[in-house]
Structure formats: structure tokens, C-alpha cells
Structure 1
Amino acid sequence: MTTTDIRIAVNGATGRMGHRQHLVRSLLALREQGGVPLGDGRTLRPDPVLVGRDGGRLAALAARHGIERWSTDLDAVLADPDVEVYFDAQATSARPAALRRAIAAGKHVYCEKPVAGRYADALELARLARAAGIRHGVVQDKLFLPGPRKLKRLVDEGFFGSVLSVRGEFGYWVLEGDREPAQRPSWNYRAQDGGGMAADMFPHWEYLLRELFGPVRSVQARLATHIDRRWDERGRSYEATADDAAYAIFELEGGAVAQFNSSWAVRVYRDELLELQVDGTDGSAVAGLRHCRAQHRSATPRPVWDPDGPAAEDFRAQWREVPDAPGDGDNAFRAQWELFLRHVALGTPWHHDLFAGARGVALAEAGHRSSREGRRLPVPEPAP
């Protein structure tokens, strides 16, 4: 058994997602366990190099986690032949330029979504990566969470029969920032900085729907900015110019219809922050991020509409919990990092690439246009 370090430039590690999910819970966790077994007697151990604009914050973060290398000079890091992978968790507006530089330097690239703010830029990046012959990927973490994994098993087992519809409810109340700090960065609510609900979440809905039920072929959306004034990290008032809610109907290949309400201006009255209800001819299921409950045709009761009295049935009690399977409790970001690193080392099958990332941006862009024009629009399929 041999262990080899793989040096990974992590740009955006001081941000919330870059720090908590990618650095601490993925790369450092994998390093602590000894690395990623490749199945051929070798183990690949992540060796992160922190990259960013604020040297003080980078130095403090590196010291806290025992990381040897950090830099504010991205070009110098990309010029280092020992750096094999570039990972980007910056704000969306900064991502395309940095990815172009990493691709030009011959690094394998992996990044958060959305890949870019514009579909044309996302597609260009995918084609540049393909032409450079590098490995490339985009984070699609929701696929690796227990709830969607259970839905996928039900689909693969034919539990639903023909899928008729999907209903998604996502969101929570993001504090305005005046009375207490908001729990999301302020740039998320400024369109000029790449913020917005559709830009952030439609890429998630694209890969979830595609992987579970089929590609999205058309969209009709209505975007809204419900809270038009917020307060930033320094307590300064600013105009919220990005959509904080998106209401959409997606038509899937094969005829199923998916309805998604996504909002940062909604108070939660559901079991989880994301819930998907899937209804099919033979069964239905409701899945959150972790739990999944199902009701088969053979166990479907016969509800009767009676507006004159209280409901006599406990409808929730009629559904059964779908049990966990091995791997369901793993951190979703870490699980995908393991797959990507194996892909880098071995060329194992991988379809969460930059073309997949471009599909998510295409759906977000079509959603914006649909809302502006008030009509249903087709969703382009990027050709590799």
C-alpha cells in the first residue's frame, strides 16, 4: 500500500461553503482518514493550498488547520507544477476568469455551481476543458444526500411505475440583516454581483430532475424580489436587486411535470428545508434532504372529501419510512470529492463535468428569460 499526496489549490476557502463543506468536512476529513483508496494498492491524500485575496484570513485559516501553504497570488499557485487540481468556491462572478486561467495552466478543475453567470461562458469553459484534455467537474451535492439517494433507489426499482409529477418546496426566511445578521452573504441579493434564487438553485433542480426523472425540456417561471432592502455584513443598507424567490413549472422529457417553489422569503412549515413529492401510477414518495417516506398503490387509502367535518384520517401515518442504505449518512460534498479524485487518478467514469454545469446555467438563464417575457421556453441542451 502506497500513499501519494495530491496538491489541490482551494480558491474561496475563507467563504462559508468553501471552508465548512469543502475544506474541513471534505479535504481535511479525507486527509485525516488517510486519503482516498484507489482500489489498486494506492491511496490518494489531499494536500490543500489555500488561495484568496485576504492574506491575513488565509494565514489564520491555515494555522488553525495545520495547512502549510497559502497564497494571494493565483498565477503563482497555478504555475507550481506540484499543484494538480484547482478548486473554485469563489463568488460566481469571479469564477469564469479563474477557471480559464487554471485550464490554460493545464490543471484539472473542479468548482462550485453555478459554473458561470451566463450560459455562453459556462459552455465555453466546458469546451476549453475538453480541448485541454484535463479532468473537470462541478459540485452536484444534492445527488449524494440520503433523501435523493433513496428516491433514486425507488426509481431504479420501478416503485413509481410511470412518474406523473414532481413537486418541490425549498427555502427559508433569510434575515434582512437590520435586527440581526443575515445567514447568507449579501452578494446573493445583488444581481450585479451574480446573486439570485434562480441562478443559485435552478442548477440544483436541473441535475436532480435529470438524474432522477429525466431532462428538463421547457420552463415557465416567475421570479420575484420580495424583500427589496437588506443590510450587508457591515450593517449598511443596500437595495436588493436579485430575485429572492422563483416559482417554476418544468416539463420533463417523457411528459412528467415538475413544480418548484424556491424562496428566501418563506417561513418553514415542513419537515426539511427541501422537500420533493413524487407521484406515479404505482406509488408516491416524499423526500427531504435526509428522510424519505413512501406509499405504494397497494397501500393507498380512499380519502373522501368532506368539508363539513374535521379530517378523520392521519394521512402522514399512512406513509412508510424508506430505510437507510450503506453510504446514506456520508457527507454529500465529501462523497463527491472522493469520486472526483478517483476520476483524476484513474479516469473512472464521471458525468458531473463542466458540460453538466453548463446545463444548470442554461436552465437558470431560460428561467430568467421566461419570467421577463411571461412565456414558456425550451431549455437548450449543450452539445459536447
Structure 2
Amino acid sequence: MTRRTVGIAMNGVTGRMGHRQHLLRSVLALREQGGIPLGDGTAVLPEPVLVGRSEHKLRHLAEQHGIARWTTRLDEALNEPDVQVYFDAQVTPARYDAVVAAIKAGKHVYCEKPTANSLPEALELARMAAERGVKTGVVQDKLFLPGLRKLKRLLDGGFFGRVLSVRGEFGYWVFEGDWQPAQRPSWNYRAQDGGGIVLDMFCHWQYVLRELFGPIRTVQAVTATHIPERVDEQGRTYPATADDAAYGIFELDGGVVAQINSSWATRVNRDELVEFQVDGTEGSAVAGLRRCRVQHRSVTPKPVWDPDVPSTVDFRAQWQEVPDNHEFDNGFKHQWELFLRHVVLDEPWHWDLLAGARGVQLAELGLRSAAEGRRLAVPELRL
């Protein structure tokens, strides 16, 4: 098989998400499997060039995984003749300038969300890329989770009839960092560093709701900083200036109402860290990261409210498991594969920087809704 190498300048891969999901489980995994077969005897082989601020971390990472090239200078990586793609998993405030530099260098861009700190910046990136003919992609990993892919299968098959509502629960307890180390980096809880659960998770909820159920037309949100003080990686106490919980209501095209709670200050009493319940006229489903269970109209029980008598009904046992019927790969890796096929073969792709800007728009409107205490319209974005 003929190998076609695509160089990828990967910025921010010493961080948790960039390292685990994008470098190890996506790009290196694709390289280890021999590349991405194109069906004509050719395979696309991704070749990473590591970029970051810490020379020590980059050198260690490169030696650990047999990566030949790394640099602390972005311009140096962008000037590599075989580098066709720039990937960004840095903290949000650093993303705009780096993506601008990549677009000006004529590189295709794939990046984490949110794509920028503000909607004007996010739209400017999308416009700049469109004007220069650069292909772009934004990570929208939740769409590729096995549970949501099963849910999409149900939607495509008409299982629900008319969808009525969506209810989502996401989150877990992130330790404060004093008596147990926090499992998320401290910048997540500082607004001045691009932190906050709205900016993080509303970008996800935008594409999940839009892709599965339809465009969001209004948003109403309440935000909170439930844990006002945390301890950082150096053991220093700092004030949490960003929201760590958000409670949102979204009205979608067609009258569907979605309610999604997001919190880093909640303890989990559900089967998975995120779950969505979808109710329709013909049936309901509960989808998580991997599982999806359904209850059809024909087998829906008839509960009777009686608080004076202990319930003997096992409601969970009345739901049916949706089978895999498919071997699901890592969602990040799968989207990487689709993006690289888009770059090489120009295959259809719509998860671009404009899609990323919609996420930033919803986050901004969610924060504004919470500040003003009212429901806000979500206009459709155009370049």
C-alpha cells in the first residue's frame, strides 16, 4: 500500500485533552494502524510535529512516543514544507492568534472548541479561512459517542414519532484541590483565563441539539459559581471567578424544548457522566456515552401517583437496551479520520469554523441570559 504523509503541527498536546484524546488516541493511533485507507491502494499517514511552550515536556513526549520533530516556535512548525494541517488544543485565550497565523500560512485548520474568546473573533476566523480557501474543522466529539450514534439511529428510523422534549444531565464533582487534587486544570475556574462551564459545555450542547433535533432558536440560562474558592496545581488558594454550573432551557425548531443541566459541583447518581432523555409521541430513549435504552409507546406502563404506598415497580427494568450493531471507534479518532479525508479527498464536511462560531454564540448568549435574567433569541449565523 502506498503511504501519503500529511504533516500536522499539533499545538497544546502537553495538556490533558490534547495529549490523551488527540495525540495518543487519535493521531498516533491512526499512524500505528498504518494510516487511513483511501480505497485506491493509498493510505494517509498523519505525521505529527509537536508544538508548545515547554521544551522539557515536548522533548519528553517526543522521546516517549518516537516523534521526530517538536518545537516551541509555532512559526517554525508552520514553515515545515510537509505540514498541511494545524491543530490547536491550547487554552482558549491563546487560540485566536495561533489559528490566524496558521490560516495566513495557508494551512488547513482543525481545532478544539471554543474556537475563540468572543463571537466577533470566532466569525473573523471563519471568514478569513473562507476567503483564503483553507479547509477547517472544529472538534465536535459528542456526536461520535456510541450512545449518541445509537440515538441518531433511532431518530433516523422514526422511532420517536414527533419529538417533544430533551432533558440532559451532565457533570460530576470536581475536587476543590485541597484534600484531594482536582481532576480538571485550575484555569477552568478562572474567567480571565477562558474558564467557565458555559463557555465549555454550551459549545457542545449547541452542536448536539442542532445536529440531532434542529437549530436552537432561544436560550434561557441560570449560572452559578457554587465553589467560590479552589486550590491550584501549586497548592495555592485562588478565587473561582468562572461559573461552575449552568442550568439551561433551549427552544428548538419545531417546538422541541431541551433542558440541560451542566455542573462540576454535583455528585453522580446516573449510569453515565452525561445522559440525555428524549421523549416523543411514539417512544422515549435515554442515551449516554455508550449506552442507549428505549421504551416504546406500546409497552409504556401506566404509573399511578400514590405517595402513601411504597412502589414495587422497577421502572429501569422496563426499558430495552439498544444493541451496538456496529463496532464503535474512539470518537475523537473517528472525527480526525473524517477531517483528514476531507483535506485529502475533499469529501463532504460541515463541522467547520462557522459551526464552531455557533457554539461561541450560544455560550455568549447563555451568559448574557443569566446576567439579564431573561430569554434571548439565537439568530442564525452567516458569513
TM-score of the aligned structures, taking structure 1 as reference length: 0.99
Tell me the residue number matched to 1:376.
Answer: 375
Alignment pair present for 1:287 and 2:287: yes
Tell me the residue number matched to 1:134.
Answer: 134
CA drift at 1:98? 0.3
Q: For residues 327 and 124 of structure 1, do their structure 2 counterparts lie closer, same or farther at Cα, with a shift above 3 Å needed?
A: farther
Alignment of 1:38-187 (within 5 A): 38-187=38-187
Tell me the residue number matched to 1:229.
Answer: 229
Distance 2:231 2:255 in 1: 43
Tell me the residue number matched to 1:360.
Answer: 359
CA drift at 1:312? 2.1
Distance 1:365 1:380 in 2: 12
Residue 254 of structure 2 aligns to a residue whose secondary structure is: coil
Amino acid paired to 2:277: Q
CA drift at 1:83? 0.8
Distance 1:198 1:307 in 2: 37
Distance 1:376 1:40 in 2: 52
Tell me the residue number matched to 1:21.
Answer: 21
Amino acid paired to 1:150: K
Alignment of 1:246-325 (within 5 A): 246-325=246-325
Distance 2:24 2:80 in 1: 24
Distance 2:279 2:103 in 1: 43
CA drift at 1:82? 1.5
Distance 1:370 1:40 in 2: 52
CA drift at 1:41? 2.1
State the 4+ residue runs in structure 1 displaced beyond 3 angstroms.
none
Tell me the residue number matched to 1:216.
Answer: 216
Distance 1:72 1:238 in 2: 29
Residue segments in structure 1 that go unaligned for 5+ positions in a row: none
Tell me the residue number matched to 1:203.
Answer: 203
Tell me the residue number matched to 2:349.
Answer: 350
Amino acid paired to 2:297: R
Distance 1:34 1:82 in 2: 18
Amino acid paired to 2:112: E
Alpha carbons 1:362, 1:380 under 8 Å: kept = no
RMSD: 0.7
Overall identity of the aligned pairs, in %? 70
Amino acid paired to 2:204: H
CA drift at 1:81? 2.1
Amino acid paired to 2:28: L
Residue 233 of structure 2 aligns to a residue whose secondary structure is: coil
Question: Which stretch shifts more, 77-86 or 338-347?
Answer: 77-86
Alpha carbons 1:245, 1:262 under 8 Å: kept = yes
Aligned length: 383
CA drift at 1:371? 0.4
Distance 2:121 2:310 in 1: 55
Distance 1:312 1:8 in 2: 58
CA drift at 1:352? 0.7
Tell me the residue number matched to 2:339.
Answer: 340
Alpha carbons 1:126, 1:354 under 8 Å: kept = yes
* CA offsets 1:185-232 (integer angstroms, 9 cap, x no match): 100000000000000000100110011111111000001100000011
Distance 1:325 1:76 in 2: 46
Residue 254 of structure 1 aligns to a residue whose secondary structure is: helix
CA drift at 1:163? 0.5
Residue 247 of structure 2 aligns to a residue whose secondary structure is: strand
* CA offsets 1:348-384 (integer angstroms, 9 cap, x no match): 0001111110001110000000000000001132113
Distance 2:199 2:40 in 1: 40
Distance 1:291 1:80 in 2: 43
Distance 1:325 1:198 in 2: 34
CA drift at 1:134? 1.1
Tell me the residue number matched to 2:244.
Answer: 244
Amino acid paired to 1:65: H
* CA offsets 1:28-84 (integer angstroms, 9 cap, x no match): 000000001112221000100000010011000000000000000101111222111
Distance 2:224 2:120 in 1: 24
Amino acid paired to 2:372: E
Distance 1:327 1:110 in 2: 25
CA drift at 1:21? 0.4
Residue 311 of structure 1 aligns to a residue whose secondary structure is: coil
Distance 2:152 2:330 in 1: 17
Distance 1:70 1:33 in 2: 22
Distance 1:364 1:117 in 2: 10
CA drift at 1:325? 2.5
Amino acid paired to 1:115: T
CA drift at 1:327? 3.4
Residue 268 of structure 1 aligns to a residue whose secondary structure is: coil
TM-score of the aligned structures, taking structure 2 as reference length: 0.99
